[in-house]
Chains A and B, each alone.
Chain A
Amino acid sequence: MKHEIKLFVNDIPYNITVNSQDTLLYALRDILHLTGTKKGCGEGECGACTVIMDGEAVRSCLILAVEADGKKIITIEGVSANGKLSRVQRAFVEAGAIQCGFCTPGFVMAIEAALRKKKTKKEELIKAVSGHLCRCTGYENIIKAIDKIVRG
């Protein structure tokens, strides 16, 4: 069944048509062509598809597009305004927290969401990414990036 929905993505309103079973991830990547959000598992296990929806970090592969109707979404494309890295992105780049980079947008969005909720302690930020998988770095430099963010 087709549904007309409205999404506010990175402050831009979109009217799109989706099927009942389409996920928010599908709507973002395949309908709106915002491919910075990644699909690692499609089952909510890896965190690569994390976006911010109405202020909460969510796994966009577990949210149906119709559930997101009328919601305010921020994707990885929305955090680096005018091509300038956000402080979370800058910390990841400088700390060497990026190798293959497939998990990076999800980690960045989880931390962005936590910071926007005024969670700024190291433990809180580590908790925010505790369900995110990275297979390349051993997390050591991701923790270092978090240290940089905490220090400001």
Chain B
Amino acid sequence: MDSVGKSFVRKDAASKATGAALFTADLKFPEMLFAATIRSPKPHIKILGIDDAKAREVMGVVGIYYAKDIPGENVVPLVFMDYPFLAEKEAKFQGQPIGLVVARDINTARKAVRLVKIKYRELRTVFDPLDAMKKTAPKIYGRDNIFKKFIVKKGNTKSAKPDVEVEDVFTTNYQVHAYLETQSMVAVPQPDGGVNVYGSMQCPFYVQDAVKKILGVPYNKVKIVQQTTGGAFGGKEDVPSIVAGHAAVLAAKTGKPVKLIYTREEDFQAMSKRHPGWAKIKYGAKKNGKIVSCEVKYILDGGAFSTLSPIVLWRGTVHAAGPYEIPNVYIETYAVATNKVPCGAYRGFGQPQIAFANESLIDILAEKLGMNPLEIRRINAIKKGGRTETGHKITGSIGLDKTINLAVKSAGWNRKWKHPSSKSGSRRYGIGMATSIYGVGLGAGGKHLAKSGSFVQVEPDGSVLVAVGNTEMGQGARTVLSQIAAEALGAPYEMVDLMATDTSRVPDSGPTVASRTTVMSGNSILNACKSIRKRIDDTVRKMLKAKGRVIAKDGFYHIGGKKVSYANAIARAWADRIHLTAAGWFRVEGTTYNEKNGQGDAYFTYTYSTMVAEVEVDVETGEVSILNFVSAHDIGKAINPKLAEGQIQGGGLQGIGYGTCENLVLENGKILNPNFTGYIVPTAVDAPPIKPIIVEEKYKGGPFGAKGLGEPPLICAAPAVANAIYNATGKRIKSLPIIPEKLVC
């Protein structure tokens, strides 16, 4: 292949290196105004009144707006409709938006926000999801504070008759996305009553839904254009809908362009995070190591509004037993409301929390059976023909065993693994591993969104314009999808480029999440290119006066021994007025998953991963150094191996940070460390070498065999480190992050 499988340099690398790439904050429009947000000062209040007289007197303030000023509906359109754009009578978390100030400059807008006095009465609060599930808890959502409950029931755990059982409770803290660019939007009113929104986002169609709703205008009056986006990791899935909604209302009210950019502290306080998790998990096994039963109770702390919690919980639920074939499974899961900032999407989407539980517990089981952690995984790892916890029979593209073998070989596991009891001294070496299975795309949990549009236009000079509904947010979609289009058309890669995602160019293609872009937009582009190629091929046959199959290779179209260059074929097709434009569409056919018992095919395919961590632990200070980290993934086919490795390395370090240092601290619903001084993300000095390994067990439904990769590199990184720490010290830490204090107490 000419374009697929090659490590081309990113299309956007040079413009990002020179600072020329335009992020939302860099945009300027004539007469642009600046906005800031008035937020709830306490975690649960009844709003009695607002005194903003002083704020309105500030020179430069143009307007202050509240829920009553919203022209359309005051509800953010997500899974459930419980989250208002602006709180009207009651606010349920500290930092919840209540009003908006718009002013001629940003300092004035922020000064006015500080002068607004909210009169309120404090209401009863609940901060712990287990407390929130009690009958006596104050009601934050519905009658029981439960946003959603799921069950998976396979076989019968009561009749499993294991020889050995292990059970424990594992907890995980929040994780903050810490993308370098905070939430940013600019809304520009249009003369006909519509609005254009330019912003930092993953999901332009979610933003379009939100702006349509808050303004009460038709879809065709709302155009959303994604700007260069400075990192997202799930944090720009649902919350940009709120930011864009706010900016759009202000643009509609003032008739001027409005820029709304969050401060770092505001982004920390009010934006979504990874859900804190609580999991009680039990494995039962035979003496030979075969796991025969798994029981899980898994609770996610959703915060004050449901946002994406139901589907985050669903992904966690259908992966809760781990990447193992287990005949008897019972899983019960809950997403629960508390008076804290709403949690949402974060790379891994409900899986990292439960992966920490099952990958820690399987090591505990191995030790009880007198086995090596590698051996127990080899015995239980799901294999071709095996069935997942939802009963999905895996018939192809399954490389879990290969990832295990390559990862342990690279790390030298057999040489290096020794029982913790053999370790001594103040600095102790340890090695640990973890594995995961990852359903690619939205699966049955988001089947109504499993569609993707594209638009491909071959220009007279052979350059190619591609538009898709998924976004480039740093992961490399612009480059990878250009490679797919180039391969399918037979065009030189350099001549193909992807436009910024624009809702007026392609239809609703679902969100850019769940590692779905390569498969969904890739297949949609293939669909468009197929019809264009058919017309190019007809032209080629005419030019070469030959019949038969046209092969595209090295910039030429070939039939037998004859060939014509790509450029000449395209020029001829245009001269003949052939239509070299097509709209592509791809949708995933229904899955068989049944929510009643949690059985059936949950996804169309899975990515499989194994990670091995080597650590040195100072047992006196609790300091953990990661010496080496190996991360192996079966992704079907790497369209651009270098970009795939970049995902593995970046996701790996986020997972290591989640496991060891990223520690958000809340007291009574208030975040105490809303900055990079208090919330520690890894730096270049802390970063260990991360060795990526790519396994390619081709998936026949994917473009050129590809599956998805964005999320898996994070999922089992933290448990691999936790298991290595146990191997070094003999201390099993059952809560993340494993900060030094936990190791020395």
Chain B residues within 8 Å of A101, by CB:
12-13, 15-17, 21, 228, 230, 474
Judged by a CB distance under 8 angstroms, whether A15 is at the interface is no
Which of chain A's residues have a CB closer than 8 A to the CB of B475? 99
Q: Among B263, B473, B474, B677, which residue has its beta carbon within 8 angstroms of that of A42? A: B263
Complex-state Cα separation, A39 to B642, whole angstroms: 28
Any B CB within 8 A of the CB of A21: yes
Chain A binder among B92-100, B173-181, B242-250 = B173-181
Cβ–Cβ < 8 Å partners of A113 in chain B: none
Residue numbers in B under 8 Å from A141 (CB-CB) = 646, 649
Instruction: Among B9, B13, B19, B476, point to the contact of A36 (Cβ < 8 A).
Output: B19
Number of B residues near A (Cβ < 8 Å) is 57
A28–B260 Cα gap in the complex (Å)?
20
Task: Find out whether the CB atom of A89 lies under 8 angstroms from the CB atom of B10.
Answer: no
Residues in A whose Cβ lies below 8 Å from that of B181: 38, 40, 100, 102
Q: B343 contacts the other chain (Cβ, under 8 Å)?
A: no
Shortest distance between the CB of A16 and any CB in chain B (Å): 15
Q: A91-107 toward B: CB 8 Å interface, digit per residue (1/0)?
A: 01110101111111100
Indicate whether B384 reaches chain A with its CB closer than 8 angstroms: no
Q: How far is the CA of A75 from the CA of B649 in the complex (A)?
A: 29
Could you say which residues of chain B place their CB within 8 Å of the CB of A17?
none
Residues of B within 8 A of A92 (CB): 13, 17
Taking the closest CB of chain A, its distance from the CB of B718, in whole angstroms, is 15
Chain B residues within 8 Å of A124, by CB: none
The answer to whether B231 has its CB under 8 Å from any CB of chain A is yes
A residues 17-70 in Cβ contact with B at 8 Å: 19, 21, 29, 33, 35-43, 45-46, 48
Give Cα A61 to B25, complex, Å. 15
Interface pair A89/B18, CB less than 8 Å apart: yes
Bound complex: CA A85 to CA B26 (Å): 21
- Decide if A76 is an interface residue (CB 8 Å cutoff): yes
User: Given A135-B231, A141-B646, is A100 in contact with B473 using a C-beta cutoff of 8 Å?
Assistant: yes
Interface size on A, residues (CB 8 A): 53
- Contact of A143 with B19 at beta-carbon distance under 8 Å, contacts A100-B229, A101-B228 already known: no
Give CA–CA (A48, B12) in the complex, Å.
18
Q: Are A41 and B675 in contact (CB under 8 A)?
A: yes
Most A CB atoms within 10 A — which of B9, B13, B264?
Answer: B13
Q: How far is it, in angstroms, between the C-alpha of A85 and the C-alpha of B17 when the chains are bound? A: 8
- Is A132 a contact partner of B179 (Cβ separation < 8 A)? no
Shortest A98–chain B CB gap in Å is 5
Q: Is the CB of A96 within 8 A of B642?
A: yes
B18 touches A80 (CB 8 A): yes
Assembly CA distance A48 to B228 (angstroms):
16
Residues from chain B with Cβ under 8 Å of A130 in the complex: 683-685
> Cβ of A40: which chain B residues have Cβ within 8 Å of it?
180-182, 264
A140 to chain B, nearest CB (A): 4
A140 to B650, CA, bound (A): 8
How far is A48 from B182 in the complex, measured between Cα atoms in Å?
A: 12
Measured CA separation A45–B676 after assembly (Å):
6
At the interface, is chain B mostly helix, strand, loop or mixed? loop
* A99 near B646: Cβ-Cβ < 8 Å: yes
- A41-B14 contact, Cβ under 8 Å, with A135-B233, A138-B649: no
B526 sits at the interface (CB 8 A): no
B745 within 8 A of A: no
Minimal Cβ-Cβ distance residue in B for A103: B180
Instruction: Tell whether, in the assembled complex, residue B684 and residue A139 are in contact, meaning their CB atoms are under 8 Å apart.
Output: yes
Assembled-state Cα–Cα distance A104/B13 (Å) = 10
Residue B689 CB within 8 A of the other chain: yes
Cβ–Cβ < 8 Å partners of A98 in chain B: 10, 12-13, 16-17
**Which A residue sits closest to B473, measured CB to CB?**
A100
B231 touches A100 (CB 8 A): yes
A103 to B25, CA, bound (A): 14
Q: Assess the B14–A133 pair: CB atoms within 8 A.
A: no
In the complex, per-residue mask of A124-145: 1 if CB is within 8 Å of any chain B CB, else 0: 0010011111111111111100
Roughly how many angstroms separate A40 CA and B177 CA in the complex, as a whole number?
13
Residues of A within 8 Å of B13, CB to CB, are 92-93, 98, 101
Q: Which residues does chain A contribute within 8 Å of B681, judged by CB atoms?
A: 133, 135
- Most interface-central of A77, A94, A99 (chain B CB within 10 A): A99
Q: Are B687 and A139 in contact (CB under 8 A)?
A: yes
Instruction: Write the B638-674 contact mask toward A (1 if CB under 8 angstroms, else 0).
Output: 0000110110011111100000000000000000000
Known: A98-B12, A134-B180. 14 other contacts (CB 8 A): A39-B25, A94-B9, A96-B646, A99-B646, A99-B650, A100-B230, A100-B473, A101-B17, A108-B17, A135-B180, A135-B231, A138-B649, A138-B651, A139-B653
A-B residue pairs, 9 tightest by C-beta:
A36-B19, A101-B16, A100-B474, A102-B230, A138-B653, A138-B649, A45-B676, A35-B26, A76-B19
**Taking beta carbons and an 8 Å cutoff, which residues of B are in contact with A?**
9-10, 12-23, 25-26, 28, 107, 177-182, 228-233, 263-264, 473-476, 642-643, 645-646, 649-654, 675-677, 681-685, 687, 689-690
10 example contacts (A-B, Cβ-Cβ < 8 A) are as follows A40-B182, A41-B675, A43-B675, A43-B677, A100-B16, A101-B12, A130-B685, A133-B180, A135-B231, A135-B681
